């Protein structure tokens, strides 16, 4: 693996989603419309939670953090993808590729850990309602969010450390619209079996374990709610919240398991799954949660009426 024997690759060429001009234009309009429509919705969710005093519970604090991470996650790849639809030769520098890879795994892993924290929050609210305010105070929530970010940072550093030590001497084409370990490892000029094994373990296995653990946790919570269900509205609201969380968990972990929990070979579905994983699902996650939450929807309407409609009058 001595780099002195190789001409170091300084840039990568991205193949993109399609080579047909007409298809690229359709995809550009489609993704831009989606991005510009959903992105302000996520920003509105964050502003609503920050400005409405009735949404000060830990659940909403964690939701605002989820919305922020989802905006960041989708913005790592979407802007360059949109610009590259109008570029003949889609190029990204080696440093830019590593930076994109780093932030993709940093934010993605942080979100996975945050979803685990959100599951613990629901457990405390449902199974320990009398001690919920004590257990999930703002100080502890801030610590748990910080730990999620720290875990994401450590995970991402491991991926980057494995990539930067590999020699790249050509070809330098990546069969996707962004840089990720699954494509970059494939074109290294050496045997990458050990690196792939570590990456599959650190990305794929963790995704599978967290996914199963979260599904089991929510299945337990739903069983508890059905067993002790009362006639009140709070019970149905808790069930609705759990189903929203399960939907987000499936959308986040499903594509991640498909991409990382297997050998890094190329399959026809890879690009489609990557688009949903890096652009569409992250932006949809907070929206999906909000649509099932009457309190957030009511607060958003108040915010729009107070700060937007009133000014127009």
Q: For 48-102, how does the pLDDT look when each residue is reduced to its tens digit (9 = 90+)?
A: 999 888 888 999 999 999 999 999 998 999 999 999 999 988 999 999 999 999 9
In terms of Cβ atoms closer than 10 Å to its own Cβ (0-12, 13-18, 19+), residue 211 is: buried
pLDDT, tens digit (0-9, with 9 covering 90-100), for 290-309? 777 888 888 888 887 876 65
pTM of the model: 0.90
Sign of CA dihedral 137, 143, 145, 148: negative
* Whole-number Cα distances in Å, 50 to 36, 47, 234: 22, 5, 23
Q: Report the distance separating Cα 264 and Cα 204, nearest Å.
A: 11
Q: Report the distance separating Cα 283 and Cα 266, nearest Å.
A: 26
pLDDT, tens digit (0-9, with 9 covering 90-100), for 2-37? 445 556 788 999 999 988 999 999 999 999 988 888
Q: How many helices (H) and strands (E) does the chain have?
A: 13, 3
Q: Which two tokens stand for residue 96?
A: 């830019």
Q: Which two tokens stand for residue 122?
A: 């629901």
What's the pLDDT score for residue 22?
A: 92
In terms of Cβ atoms closer than 10 Å to its own Cβ (0-12, 13-18, 19+), residue 271 is: middle
- The yes-or-no verdict on residue 214 having pLDDT over 60 is yes
* Whole-number Cα distances in Å, 133 to 116, 120, 140, 196, 247: 19, 13, 11, 44, 26
pLDDT band at 228 (very low <50, low <70, confident <90, very high): confident
Q: First vs last Cα of the chain: how many Å apart?
A: 68
Q: Report the distance separating Cα 16 and Cα 41, nearest Å.
A: 28
Contacts of residue 240, Cβ cutoff 8 Å, sequence gap at least 6: 292, 293
For helices 138-164 and 94-127, angle between their N-to-C axes, nearest 10 degrees? 150
Give the position of tokens 């399609």.
18
pLDDT, tens digit (0-9, with 9 covering 90-100), for 251-283? 889 999 999 998 888 888 899 999 999 988 887
């Amino acid at each position: 693996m001595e780099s002195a024997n190789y001409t170091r690759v300084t840039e990568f060429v991205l193949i993109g989603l399609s080579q047909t001009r007409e298809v690229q234009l359709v995809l550009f309009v489609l993704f831009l419309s989606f991005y510009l429509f959903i992105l302000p919705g996520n920003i509105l969710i964050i502003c609503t939670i920050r400005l409405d005093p009735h949404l000060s519970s830990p659940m909403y604090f964690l939701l605002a953090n989820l919305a922020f991470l989802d905006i960041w996650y989708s913005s790592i790849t979407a802007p360059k993808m949109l610009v590259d639809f109008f570029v003949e030769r889609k190029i990204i520098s080696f440093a830019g590729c590593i930076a994109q890879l780093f932030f993709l795994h940093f934010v993605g892993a942080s979100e996975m850990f945050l979803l685990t924290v959100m599951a613990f929050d629901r457990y405390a609210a449902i199974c320990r309602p009398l001690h919920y305010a004590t257990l999930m105070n703002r100080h502890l929530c801030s610590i748990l969010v910080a730990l999620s970010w720290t875990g994401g940072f450590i995970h991402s550093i491991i991926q980057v450390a494995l990539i930067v030590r590999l020699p790249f001497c050509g070809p330098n084409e990546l069969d996707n619209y962004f840089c990720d370990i699954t494509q970059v490892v494939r074109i290294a000029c050496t045997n990458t079996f050990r690196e792939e094994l570590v990456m599959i373990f650190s990305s794929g296995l963790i995704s599978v374990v967290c996914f199963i653990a979260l599904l089991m946790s929510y299945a337990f919570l739903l069983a508890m709610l059905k067993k002790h269900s009362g006639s009140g509205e709070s019970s149905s609201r808790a069930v609705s919240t759990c189903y929203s969380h399960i939907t987000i968990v499936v959308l986040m972990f499903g594509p991640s398991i498909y991409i990382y929990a297997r050998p890094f070979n190329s399959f026809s579905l890879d690009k489609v799954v990557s688009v949903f994983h890096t652009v569409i699902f992250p932006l949809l996650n907070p929206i999906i949660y909000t649509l099932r939450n009457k309190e957030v929807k009511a607060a958003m309407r108040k915010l729009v009426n107070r700060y937007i409609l009133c000014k127009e009058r």
